[in-house]
C-alpha cells in the first residue's frame, strides 16, 4: 500500500466508527480500585507488595510491614490482609499486637479468610473494641500517595 492509500483507508475507518469507539474502556477512573487509579500507582503498589513479601521471607519484618502498609493504605486487598496479620501477631516491632487495628485491616481487605480472622479476633475483644474497629473501617479513606 502506498502511504496516500493507507491514509485514505484509515480516514474511512475512522469516519464510520461511532464517537468514542477508539477510547480505552478503562478511561473511566471511577471503575478502577483506588490503588490502580493510574498505571504508575498500580505498578508501584504491586511492586511494593512483592518487595514486602521478599523482606518478610528473609525475616526482615519491619521493612516488610512498611511496604505492605503503603500498599494497604492505597486499598490493595492482599496488602491489607498482611497488615492485619502483622497487627494480629505483633510480628514486627513497628506493628505491635493490636486487635482493633488488625480487625480494621482485615475488614477493609474484603478477603474471605481475612473476615474469618476478624471474627476469630472478635472473641477476644470487648464490644467497645469491636465498635472502634468498625468505626475505623467506616472512616478509612485510601491514600493517593
Q: Is 18 helix (H, G, I), strand (E, B) or coil?
A: coil
Residue 110 maps to a domain: yes
Residue 2 maps to a domain: no
Query: Taking a C-beta distance cutoff of 8 angstroms, is the pair 103, 71 a contact?
Result: no
Residue 23 maps to a domain: no
Number of domains in the chain: 1
CA 100, 101, 105, 106 torsion: positive or negative?
A: negative
Provide the phi-psi class of 19: left if phi over 0, else alpha when psi is between -120 and 50, else beta. beta
Residue 89 maps to a domain: yes
- Residues 7-33 have pLDDT tens digits of 444 444 444 444 443 344 545 556 777
Residue 29 maps to a domain: no
Residue 12 maps to a domain: no
Domain that holds residue 105: 36-139
- Residues 57-82 have pLDDT tens digits of 999 999 999 999 999 999 999 999 99
CATH of the domain at 115: 1.25.40.10
- Residues 91-109 have pLDDT tens digits of 998 999 999 999 999 999 9
Amino acid at each position: 500500500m502506498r502511504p496516500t492509500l493507507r491514509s485514505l483507508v484509515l480516514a474511512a475507518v475512522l469516519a464510520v466508527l461511532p464517537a468514542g469507539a477508539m477510547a480505552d474502556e478503562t478511561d473511566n477512573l471511577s471503575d478502577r480500585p483506588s490503588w490502580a487509579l493510574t498505571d504508575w500507582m498500580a505498578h508501584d503498589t504491586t511492586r511494593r507488595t512483592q518487595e514486602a513479601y521478599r523482606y518478610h521471607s528473609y525475616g526482615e519484618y519491619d521493612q516488610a510491614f512498611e511496604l505492605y502498609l503503603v500498599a494497604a493504605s492505597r486499598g490493595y486487598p492482599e496488602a491489607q490482609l498482611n497488615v492485619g496479620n502483622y497487627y494480629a501477631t505483633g510480628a514486627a516491632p513497628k506493628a505491635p499486637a493490636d486487635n482493633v487495628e488488625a480487625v480494621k485491616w482485615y475488614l477493609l481487605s474484603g478477603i474471605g479468610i481475612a473476615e474469618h480472622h476478624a471474627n476469630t479476633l472478635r472473641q477476644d475483644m470487648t464490644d467497645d473494641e469491636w465498635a472502634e474497629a468498625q468505626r475505623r473501617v467506616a472512616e478509612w479513606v485510601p491514600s493517593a500517595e
